[in-house]
Structure 1
Amino acid sequence: MDLSADDDEALKQYMPSQFGKKDGSVNVEAQIERARRPVVDESKQGKKDEGSDEEKDSDDDSDDSEDDDDEFPVTHELIIKTHDRAVTTIALDPSGTRLVTGSNDCTLKLHDLSALTPSTIRAFKTVDPFVTKPSQTAESHSIHQVLFGPHSGGQFLCITATPQPRLFSRDGDLIAEYVKGDMYLRDKHNTKGHTSEVTSGAWHPTNRDRFVTAGTDSTVRIWDVNKRMKQEEVIVHKSRAAGSAGMTRMTAIAWGAAAEGQSSMLVSAALDGSLVMWGGEGPYHRPTAEIRDAHTKDTRTSGLDISADGRLVITRGGDDTIKLWDTRKFKTPLNTTSHVSTSSQYPTTDIKFAPNSSSIITGSETGHLHILNPATLRPELVTPVTPGSAIITVNWHPKLNQIITGSANGQTTLLFNPKLSQAGALTILSKAPKKRHLDDDPNLTVDMDPLGMSGDAHYDPSGRLTGGAQAGSFTARHPTIGLTASGKSRDPRRPHIPATTPFAKSTPDQKYVMEQIEGSDMRDEDPREALLKYAPKEGEKNVFTGAWDKTQPKAIYKEYDSDEDERDSKRAKR
């Protein structure tokens, strides 16, 4: 049988070329090169037609594109598609290894960037922040914001379309659900929490135990992480443009670092178009500065950020404008530029300063990433990321030097530059793709009962085994085999774990009561000692009952000469 050249080549491809263990290394440079994206700067498209020398223009454009490649981390991209609906918020911990995304599908997706590979880009956990117990029914509320603390990645704050902010661990476990205020109290100073939807939140720039939230009840509330039953401070914003009631909706808030010689600052935007600033450390009874018409009334200012040095504030309003403010002259904007707003459709549309405050990034309704110059607010780079699908949220991580965007089509995009960026997407692309396994396809796997195939087995009155073990190959084990009469294990190597009843799970322990319930420490206090604290000392004036000292009659008691007289008198009474 004669073989043609094509058959011979096909046979060589089929047969192994060597024996033994093969080298599983991967060409990292080629794998990163496949992630390269065409950097199209549409802000400079109009310059191509200017001038008479086309070659000169093309050379200028090429030089500009090369400069942009070296300046901004946008030359490569890595796509994460783990949500079904619009991605409304993105958060990365300070180390840049844990990525949390929130969406309009009412779920949080947790990604471990250090464990992902190019073929297994998926979330390792899906968290429903509204289901805290297995028996609880699911609610449907959008997720507005997810925020890691500035100094610790051990926990993150979740702001949802409810009156209660929630605190989660980095693994998605609920730590605290902060209290909801009484909506029937008219004075908002007297409520323990928000009485309506929370719209925005921010961490204290230096204190990891404090954060602030703003809500539609016209209040800004400062919380202690360890006290979930009541906020620390309440700031009620009295709107002068909202009529006699003076109530408006707070739409965004930011807590900025201290400027030179000053304390930290709180800046909040409201639906009445105002922009209000308070001192971050108090007092909070009166704002430090207020701009009534910062943006058009009844338009949602969804984007708000403070520069790293605390000197500049950037806002993105619902009136299709972006404005830059100086905190030292908080009266008129330094610069204003037009930018189409998407806050009516996506209320969490944001705008951010770069880590060194040298640039400003935001998205657009057309799916373009806009990088602006903070001095002039002119675009330095406008590049499409998800064309036709609006970019809602942006984040520029300082350690990774990578830009993360969340779009309306449910896509999260990691933009990076191999020359400028580190870790993050580069860590993922430096690994070999994981080989396909049967367990990777959920359509070809079966979820097994943790009790085994005999978990549904039971005995009928005649003693015959039915249910999951009808075939007789599996037998049901009696639940008390291997245990003593008291329920402990007979095996000395197996520790005894006491059974936890549903009542015990919902019963608060002593530590919880002492920390969360005010006045609970009085339970262990001696009442006599508590009263004697207010008893006047010798030579001291009686503060509480001093008014009756002069009019109080003196007690007169019968005096006995001896104990015998006292006993005789008692016998006479009997």
Structure 2
Amino acid sequence: MAARGNGSENSGEDISSVMGFSGFGKKARTFDLDAIFEQTRRTAIERSQRILEDRQKAELSAGPSSDASSASKHQEKPSASTSRQQASDDSSDSSDSEPIGPPLPPGLSAQPEEEEDELIGPPLPPGYGGSRADDDDDDDDDDDGDNDTAEDDDDPVKKIPDTHEITLQHGTKTVSALGLDPSGARLVTGGYDYDVKFWDFAGMDAALHAFRSLQPCECHQIRSLQYSITGDVILVVAGNSQAKVLDRDGFQVLECVKGDQYIVDMANTKGHTAMLNGGCWHPKIKEEFLTCSNDGTVRTWDLNSDKKHKSVFKPRSLQGKRVTPTCCTYSRDGKLIAAGCQDGTIQIWDRNLSVHTKFHCRQAHTPSTDTCCLTFSYDGTTLASRGGDDTLKTWDLRNFRKPLNVATGLTTYFPMTDCCFSPDDKLLVTGTSVKRDEGNGKLVFFDRESFKKVYEIEVASASVVRCLWHPKLNQIMVGTGNGLAKVYYDPVKSQRGAKLCVVKNKRKEKQAETLTQDYIITPHALPMFREARQRSTRKQLEKDRLDPMKSHKPEPPVSGPGRGGRVAAHGGTLSSYIVKNIALDKTDDSNPREAILRHARDAAENPYWVAPAYTQTQPEPVFADEESEDEEADKEPEWKKRKI
């Protein structure tokens, strides 16, 4: 039995060694929890005292200003060794007076002993370890800084980014359309010169050149440009009856269908039949956009359907007659559609109910004037209208009979003059027009609540037609009547946009590169077909210098009568040569025989070309006398005589 018991014990040890259990089959350990807690508490106290010592040393070395406070703390607090002794003695008496929990983090000032016992809650953050008086002073300073910041936040004029500007040269005619994508990376401009230009802020340098220019609507003035809410397509509204949708690179995605102009009821046609006046994208649905036209309709379209419009809204006058809408827009939530009409009315429909208007103001602006722009505030409760009667008005949708505020004296000569709200919804911006050489066009800022003119910017010596305040970039884009597109920004308050391109240096112009013949490497070709290996340009120039033909100096121009077969400057042409040598020749060539035989004696005495070769075989020439020739001519009959 004893042997069996020993064997079982040995087998248990073997199993424990194989399985990795160190205490297999042994009794579990017991721990003295009181002793462990006491040791942990003492360690925490020692660490706290060490941290307090380091803090006091740092305050002593900070300067004379902190000496007094550190000295007072030294008087109140005992030394480190004494503290440890007292802590150990007190711990034996009672544990209620000791701090409970982890030690204080480094950087915190010590509290007096009287206050340490009563301290409840988390420790104070860094920077609040001074005396009460110091804390009060710091609080006063912080309050002053908060007041200054609050004043800056309350004053919307200080948020206007107008410290810097850049100028983009679109062309020479009016910039009548501006569009920025939602991210603010690309700007698109259109004008009366039929051009649409694309500007990439991240890709431009300080030269500020557009990377693409095109004419999407041929010979029609561009009236409106807008990016969709996703920024992947652009709505182009021009002076024709068919709006177009382009992608980011300028390629056509959709062209709206044209309606039948011989149908009286415009609701029965598939599209517009007259010139477009404006258009915009739906703020929530990326495939839907809106257009208005001189045919008296406002139509919504679907990007995926180019066969027909989506719905038709027909504004009517008080007598029920057709009225031309001059501008249109969606509300911020996309549930309302607003249109400003030529008879001075503003008509608003529910997007899903196209028959009757939901809001209607008959005398919003002066009749027979073009309402230039309608825009909703960011909170969706206020509508701003820019009228052709030189006014700017705001309207409350909850009480649409009378305007909230009216600003007058804002001259406009263009049917697309803009107005827009600031990103914080506290300011309203619009532009003014001027005649040529009669002042500067201005960008005017109004307070939304009081409607007082709080600020203005003189843009250029031309009319301000378009203005756009991008909420993400916090930059203001302005289109003028002399072909300029200006961007106003602030290096501190603005983000990206124009700040990306002004810091880049202008690229050097590339020199005209000479065309070189491509060298084709054919390692397995026969020697007779193998091309010679290309040499460097320097060696080729040295070789050409040794060639007398290639390095021959050009002959200078001839001066004087000419030499070596070259004619002088005054005889360079055939006509001048003939005039000089033939027409002005004074010799008498009336007898051609004498002119020919004039050099006969010299040729007979000094033969050079033909005579030496025929000296042996050439017979003597025999010439008849002139008298005998005359006698023979007299003997000839009349019919043989040559007529003169």
Q: TM-score range by the shorter chain?
A: 0.5 to 0.7
Q: Distance in 2 between matches of 1:320 and 1:194?
A: 29
Q: Distance in 2 between matches of 1:320 and 1:70?
A: 27
Write the deviation string for residues 398-428 of structure 1: whole angstroms up to 9, x where unpaired: 1110000000011111100111001011111
Give the partner amino acid of 1:250.
Answer: P
Paired residues, number: 358
Structure 1 residue corresponding to 2:498, chosen from 411, 425, 435: 425
Query: Structure 2 regions of 5+ residues with no counterpart?
Result: 1-150, 434-439, 516-644
Give the partner amino acid of 2:208.
Answer: I
Q: Once superposed, which parts of structure 1, at least 4 consecutive aligned residues long, lie more than 6 Å away?
A: none
Counterpart secondary structure, 2:416: coil
Determine the structure 2 residue equivalent to 1:247.
322
Give the partner amino acid of 1:180.
Answer: K
- 1:364, distance to aligned residue in structure 2 (A): 0.9
- 1:68, distance to aligned residue in structure 2 (A): 7.4
Whether 2:164 is the aligned partner of 1:164: answer no
Larger Rg, first or second structure (1 or 2) = 2
Q: Distance in 2 between matches of 1:425 and 1:69?
A: 21
Whether 2:261 is the aligned partner of 1:173: answer no
Q: Distance in 1 between matches of 2:176 and 2:312?
A: 27
Whether 2:472 is the aligned partner of 1:396: answer no
Give the partner amino acid of 2:315.
Answer: H
Q: Which has the higher contact order (CA 8 A, sep 6+)?
A: 1
Determine the structure 2 residue equivalent to 1:437.
509
Determine the structure 2 residue equivalent to 1:96.
184
- Conserved? CA contact 2:157–2:454, under 8 Å: no
447 and 292 in structure 1: CA distance in 2 versus 1, 3 angstrom threshold: farther
- Conserved? CA contact 1:202–1:212, under 8 Å: yes
- 1:447, distance to aligned residue in structure 2 (A): 13
- Conserved? CA contact 1:101–1:109, under 8 Å: yes
Give the partner amino acid of 2:447.
Answer: N
Q: Distance in 1 between matches of 2:235 and 2:165?
A: 27
The TM-score with structure 1 as length reference comes to 0.60
- Conserved? CA contact 1:69–1:75, under 8 Å: no
Structure 1 residue corresponding to 2:429, chosen from 342, 361, 370: 361
Give the partner amino acid of 1:147.
Answer: Q
Counterpart secondary structure, 1:394: strand
1:56-75 equivalent positions in 2, closer than 5 A: 70-75=158-163
Structure 1 residue corresponding to 2:418, chosen from 350, 355, 371: 350
103 and 446 in structure 1: CA distance in 2 versus 1, 3 angstrom threshold: farther
Structure 1 residue corresponding to 2:224, chosen from 131, 145, 151: 145
Counterpart secondary structure, 2:273: coil
- Conserved? CA contact 1:218–1:250, under 8 Å: yes
Structure 2 residue corresponding to 1:377, chosen from 432, 445, 451: 451
Whether 2:401 is the aligned partner of 1:331: answer yes
Q: Distance in 1 between matches of 2:426 and 2:502?
A: 28
Counterpart secondary structure, 2:501: helix
- 1:446, distance to aligned residue in structure 2 (A): 9.8
426 and 397 in structure 1: CA distance in 2 versus 1, 3 angstrom threshold: same
Structure 2 residue corresponding to 1:105, chosen from 193, 198, 202: 193
- 1:127, distance to aligned residue in structure 2 (A): 1.3
425 and 69 in structure 1: CA distance in 2 versus 1, 3 angstrom threshold: farther
Write the deviation string for residues 340-364 of structure 1: whole angstroms up to 9, x where unpaired: 332xx42211111122322111111
Determine the structure 1 residue equivalent to 2:385.
315
Write the deviation string for residues 247-272 of structure 1: whole angstroms up to 9, x where unpaired: 221101110123xxxx7211110001
447 and 175 in structure 1: CA distance in 2 versus 1, 3 angstrom threshold: farther
Write the deviation string for residues 27-72 of structure 1: whole angstroms up to 9, x where unpaired: xxxxxxxxxxxxxxxxxxxxxxxxxxxxxxxxxxxx99xx777421
- Conserved? CA contact 2:170–2:189, under 8 Å: no
Counterpart secondary structure, 2:234: strand
Structure 2 residue corresponding to 1:341, chosen from 411, 431, 435: 411
Q: Distance in 2 between matches of 1:266 and 1:354?
A: 22
Whether 2:365 is the aligned partner of 1:290: answer no
Moved more, 153-162 or 81-90: 81-90
Q: Distance in 1 between matches of 2:338 and 2:157?
A: 34
- 1:91, distance to aligned residue in structure 2 (A): 0.5
1:209-248 equivalent positions in 2, closer than 5 A: 209-240=287-318, 246-248=321-323
Whether 2:278 is the aligned partner of 1:205: answer no
Q: Distance in 1 between matches of 2:335 and 2:424?
A: 18
- Conserved? CA contact 1:82–1:122, under 8 Å: no
- 1:107, distance to aligned residue in structure 2 (A): 0.8
Counterpart secondary structure, 1:426: helix
435 and 178 in structure 1: CA distance in 2 versus 1, 3 angstrom threshold: closer
- Conserved? CA contact 2:388–2:415, under 8 Å: no
Counterpart secondary structure, 2:270: coil
- Conserved? CA contact 1:315–1:323, under 8 Å: yes
- Conserved? CA contact 1:148–1:156, under 8 Å: yes
Q: Distance in 2 between matches of 1:83 and 1:226?
A: 34
- Conserved? CA contact 1:353–1:359, under 8 Å: yes
Q: Distance in 2 between matches of 1:288 and 1:294?
A: 16
Q: Distance in 1 between matches of 2:485 and 2:398?
A: 37
Q: Distance in 2 between matches of 1:380 and 1:230?
A: 47
Counterpart secondary structure, 1:318: coil
329 and 447 in structure 1: CA distance in 2 versus 1, 3 angstrom threshold: farther
Q: Percentage identity across aligned positions?
A: 33
Whether 2:307 is the aligned partner of 1:196: answer no
Determine the structure 2 residue equivalent to 1:524.
none
Q: Distance in 2 between matches of 1:266 and 1:156?
A: 20
Q: Distance in 1 between matches of 2:356 and 2:156?
A: 45
- 1:308, distance to aligned residue in structure 2 (A): 1.4
Q: Distance in 2 between matches of 1:163 and 1:107?
A: 18
Q: Distance in 2 between matches of 1:341 and 1:409?
A: 17
Q: Which has the higher helix share?
A: 2
- 1:300, distance to aligned residue in structure 2 (A): 0.7
Structure 2 residue corresponding to 1:267, chosen from 338, 352, 359: 338
The TM-score with structure 2 as length reference comes to 0.54
Q: Distance in 1 between matches of 2:304 and 2:411?
A: 37
425 and 297 in structure 1: CA distance in 2 versus 1, 3 angstrom threshold: same
Determine the structure 1 residue equivalent to 2:598.
none
Whether 2:370 is the aligned partner of 1:300: answer yes
- Conserved? CA contact 1:89–1:145, under 8 Å: yes
Give the partner amino acid of 2:450.
Answer: T
Give the partner amino acid of 2:498.
Answer: A
Give the partner amino acid of 2:239.
Answer: A
Q: Distance in 2 between matches of 1:156 and 1:228?
A: 16
Q: Distance in 1 between matches of 2:194 and 2:301?
A: 24
- Conserved? CA contact 1:251–1:270, under 8 Å: yes
Q: Distance in 1 between matches of 2:190 and 2:397?
A: 31
Give the partner amino acid of 2:497.
Answer: G
Q: Distance in 2 between matches of 1:70 and 1:288?
A: 38
- Conserved? CA contact 1:256–1:308, under 8 Å: no
Give the partner amino acid of 2:509.
Answer: H
Counterpart secondary structure, 2:499: helix
430 and 197 in structure 1: CA distance in 2 versus 1, 3 angstrom threshold: same
- Conserved? CA contact 1:305–1:315, under 8 Å: yes
- Conserved? CA contact 2:426–2:447, under 8 Å: yes
CA RMSD of aligned residues (A): 2.1
Query: Structure 1 regions of 5+ residues with no counterpart?
Result: 1-62, 131-138, 440-444, 449-574
Counterpart secondary structure, 2:457: strand
